Amino acid sequence: MDLPSAIDHVRPAVVQIRIQRDRLNKGAVVGTGFWVHGDGLVLTARHVTRDSREQIAKLGAGRLVLGMAIPNLTGPPVTIRSSFGIVEAEVVEEDPRHDVALLRAADNPFSSGRSSGVQQVGSAVTVNPLYGLADFSDAPVRDGEHIAVSGYPLAEPALITTSGGIASAFGTDVAEVQAPRGPVGLTIPDTADSYLADVAVNPGNSGGPVYRTSDGTVIGVCVAFKVASAQLETQPSPFFYNSGLSVVVPIKYGLDLVSRHAS
């Protein structure tokens, strides 16, 4: 599969995570998510759900909604650009250790019988949001495999896809945690796998699917980029920049959540 085909394969699964103040408000995009199960379940990053709660608290109002893309069309018969169907969602479970969270849509498109996309019968045109389930792969990831990230960074009104290689399939995050059956205070190392990707991502990409471009299968969830700093001789203090390396949570941690809540 080439990159354009892989993007089209994943596209229906990708949703915006927005905070909407009221019914008339378009809302602000706080991250990205993707459909993982026909029960109306969406996977995203846990810091996206945490940020959503903080924003709702700050606003004193608002709710978490999903923005489902309506296909771009350059008419005739109609021209559509950057339009979204909106559906409410609730947080089902969060995993702060691995930065993944599961949402459930209030109105499940997979059980609504509503068509996905654009249908034209005679002169009548029916336009519905795109939706579809992501495919997953638990085949081992190799350094250098070509991958892509799709999502809604930088408040852009259209789906954004960036791509590159796996920079390291062996990123790790080791935390000391309480031993399950040990005395209080006895800790053991808890290793959380992660991948590093040579892919440019930005605020808003969090929670989006990271997928192999060879077959469009999702291997992880985009959660962060590494910030680096450098010092110029001509400047008094170092400057910070996006290193170009992004952090990917392996999909297995997300599927653990799904397996506990899918019918």
Q: Which residues bind a second copy (CB under 8 A)?
A: 2-8, 72, 81-82, 142-146, 148, 153-154, 156-165, 167-168, 170-172, 191, 196, 198, 200, 202-203, 226-228, 230, 232, 235, 239-245
Percent of residues in the chain assigned helix, strand, coil, to nearest 5? 15, 50, 35
Name the strand (E) or helix (H) holding 255.
Answer: helix 251-261
- Residue number, 237 or 263, with CB nearest to a second copy: 237
Rounded Cα–Cα distance for residues 218 and 250 (Å): 9
The CA distances from residue 226 to 16, 45, 198, 222, 247, in Å, are 23, 16, 11, 12, 7
Q: Least separation, in Å, of the C-beta of 154 and a second copy? A: 6
How far apart are CB 39 and a second copy at their closest, in Å? 29
Nearer to a second copy, 81 or 261 (CB): 81
CA gap 3, 227 in Å, rounded: 27
Query: What does DSSP say about strands 209-212 and 187-198: parallel, antiparallel, or unpaired?
Result: unpaired
Q: Which is nearer to a second copy, 88 or 145 (CB)?
A: 145
Residue 102 or 206 having the CB closest to a second copy? 206
Structure tokens of 147?
Answer: 């991958």
Least distance to a second copy, CB of residue 85, Å:
17
Q: How far is the CB of 208 from a second copy (least distance, A)?
A: 13
